[in-house]
Amino acid sequence: MGVWNPHSWQAFPALQQPEYPDPSALEAVLARLRRLPPLVVPDEVDRLRQLLAEAALGKRFLLQGGDCAEQFRDCQPETIADKLRVLLQMSVVLTHIGRRPVIRVGRIAGQYAKPRSNPTEQVRGQEIPSYRGDLVNGLEATPESRRPDPERMSQAYFHAAATLNFIRGLIDGGFADLHHPERWELPRQSHRAYRAVLDQVRESLEFLATLGNLERGALERIDFFTSHEALLLPFEEALTRWVPEQQSHYNLGAHMLWVGDRTRVPGGAHLEFLRGLANPIGVKAGPGAAPEDLVRILEFLDPHQVPGRITVVTRFGAGRIRELLPPLVRAVRRAGRVVLWCCDPMHGNGVTSGRGLKTRRFDDILSELRQCFELHREEGSRLGGVHFELTGEDVTECTGGIEGLSEADLPRAYETGCDPRLNGTQSLEMAFLIAQVLRDEGRPGGLLAPASR
């Protein structure tokens, strides 16, 4: 293993990178990005790593979610507030029913780059570059819009900054205050079970307040963290900074970064880049992840076994998780490593609808999640988090859920730039179903019950 620095990745093969036609234009943008202020600060990154370390031990639960591909055009107050709101709603349900404090991590304020299966696609008889996310090129299916444009990196930085600034403002302004969870009702939402949870939360708060038990400010304070896939390496490198107080390099473009299932190849540039950062790192593991490769990746990324450093995000599909997850869990345990296991029940459950739209069925998503909890329990391990593609908006991209969306409903509000997301109602319903599993695990005889530990 050679000496690491923020550009040492350049000596390794980098998958999924666009070809920029004008290297001097690329360098000009990167030079500007390197001088701009960071989007997050090292203390926040360290705090998230500590919280994730607790989640790995079963003391907290990770909720990570947001768009598959954030788009610049969605950098609007309502869209951002809706996304924050749905994540807060889900976390209150998980905390209250599931009885575990929740760590909220958005796929937000920087989730602008997408890996693609094919570098090009056929559109109206013409071969054009695939859309690689707003960070790289435009969604519009024309050769001009699909040409990689380095100026988009600068736009991504400013859109991420605006998004995060608004989120911080909302939170500082009391948007997330547990005394006023009614602020998080989605406009069209009439979820009776959710209202009942809010009433219970309110009652418990009043009760605790009468006992004088509440730490001042504890409920007004809320942690919310950002994450995205570290895919476009020149951009990620430009947001990486040396922090003298910590004597470490941090990527200060987000609190947490993850490496995708397509780019987590041993010997590749993505792992080389990530290994030198102090940030918590997610590693996506799909059906192609061999147990011995995963262990190698973990040893490479985290040689000193820093608590909270690694979250393994598995995404196999409801039909394959039973065959594929247990060997990974056993291999990681045999290697003597502790990781936070997180379930992404979205990316292994894609199907194409009769009308050719990419979709996912609510029941497949739920089935993978339930099996994931169960399989970890059978292996003497524990599932410590969930990872969703979701939005607060009333889209029709995934089928099923209490509204019973069918394939015929999909074209009505199909707006994703990439993969299909759960809408606000489906997300909240999912949170209730997960919370019940968490609650049952905590009961006598359950996985998290004190007697069984």
**Distance between terminal CA atoms of the chain?**
39
Out of Co ion, ligand PEP, none, what residue 446 binds, judged by CB under 5 to 8 A for its kind, is: none
Q: CB of 350: closest distance to Co ion in angstroms?
A: 9
| Closest CB to Co ion among residues 68, 328 | 68
- Closest CB to ligand PEP among residues 315, 361: 315
Q: Answer yes or no whether residue 68 interacts with ligand PEP by CB under 6 A.
A: yes
Show contacts with ligand PEP in window 397-436 (CB under 6 A): 419
The first and second tokens of residue 280, run together, are: 């918590």
Spatial contact of 388 and 428, defined as CB atoms under 8 Å apart: no
- Tell the smallest beta-carbon distance from residue 152 to Co ion (Å): 19
Which residue, 272 or 419, has its beta carbon nearer to ligand PEP? 419
Separation of alpha carbons 270 and 259, rounded Å: 7
Stretch that binds Co ion, among 60-68, 224-232, 277-285, 379-387 (CB under 5 A): 60-68
Pick from 191, 228, 309, 347: which binds ligand PEP (CB under 6 A)? 347
Which of ligand PEP, Co ion, none interacts with 345 (beta carbon under 5 to 8 A by kind)?
none
Instruction: List Cβ neighbours of 76 (8 Å cut-off, separation of 6 or more).
Output: none
Its sign, for the CA torsion 65, 66, 68, 69, is negative
Restricted to residues 152-211, the positions that interact with ligand PEP (CB under 6 A) are none
From the list 89-97, 148-156, 189-197, 259-267, the region that binds ligand PEP by CB under 6 A is 259-267
Output the 3-class SS for the chain: CCCCCCCHHHHCCCCCCCCCCCHHHHHHHHHHHHHCCCCCCHHHHHHHHHHHHHHHCCCCEEEEEECCCCCHHHCCHHHHHHHHHHHHHHHHHHHHHHCCCEEEEEECCCCCCCCCCCCEEEECCEEEECCCCCCCCCCCCCCCCCCCCCHHHHHHHHHHHHHHHHHHHHHHCCCCCCCCHHHHCCCCCCCHHHHHHHHHHHHHHHHHHHHCCCCCCCCCCCCCEEEEECCCHHHHHHCEEEECCCCEEEECCCCEEEECCCCCCCCCHHHHHHHCECCCEEEEECCCCCHHHHHHHHHHHCCCCCCCCEEEEECCCCCCHHHHHHHHHHHHHHCCCCCEEEECCCCCCEEECCCCCEEEEHHHHHHHHHHHHHHHHHCCCCEEEEEEEECCCCCCCCEECCCCECHHHHHHHCCCCCCCCECHHHHHHHHHHHHHHHHHHHCCCCCCCHHHC
Residue 115 binding target from Co ion, ligand PEP, none, CB below 5 to 8 Å by type: ligand PEP
> What is d(CA 385, CA 320) in angstroms, rounded to the nearest whole number?
19
Binding residues among 415-444 for Co ion as defined by CB under 5 A: 419
Q: In the bound complex, what is the minimum distance in angstroms from residue 344's beta carbon to ligand PEP? A: 6
Stretches 34-42, 139-147, 233-241, 257-265: which one binds ligand PEP (CB under 6 A)? 257-265
The residue from 98, 260, 385, 401 that contacts ligand PEP (CB under 6 A) is 260
Q: Does 405 bind Co ion (CB under 5 A)?
A: no
Could you tell me which stretch among 51-59, 64-72, 94-102, 312-320 binds Co ion (CB under 5 A)? 64-72
# of chain residues touching ligand PEP (CB under 6 A):
10
x/- mask, ligand PEP, residues 105-134, rule CB under 6 A, reads: ----------x-------------------
- Is 343 a binder of ligand PEP (CB under 6 A)? no
Fill in the per-residue mask, 67 to 106: x = in contact with Co ion (CB under 5 A), - = not in contact: -x--------------------------------------
Residues paired with residue 388 on neighbouring β-strands, in sequence order: 65
261 binds, among ligand PEP, Co ion, none (CB under 5 to 8 A by kind): ligand PEP
Least distance from C-beta 385 to ligand PEP, angstroms? 14
Query: 224: which 2 tokens?
Result: 């919310």
Q: Which of residues 283-302 bind ligand PEP (CB under 6 A)?
A: 284, 286
Residue 326 or residue 350: which is nearer to Co ion going by CB? Answer: 350
Q: Which of ligand PEP, Co ion, none has residue 260 at its interface (CB below 5 to 8 Å by kind)?
A: ligand PEP
Which among 78-86, 243-251, 258-266, 391-399 is the span making contact with ligand PEP, rule CB under 6 A?
258-266
**Binding region for ligand PEP (CB under 6 A):** 68, 115, 260-262, 284, 286, 315, 347, 419
**Binding region for Co ion (CB under 5 A):** 68, 419
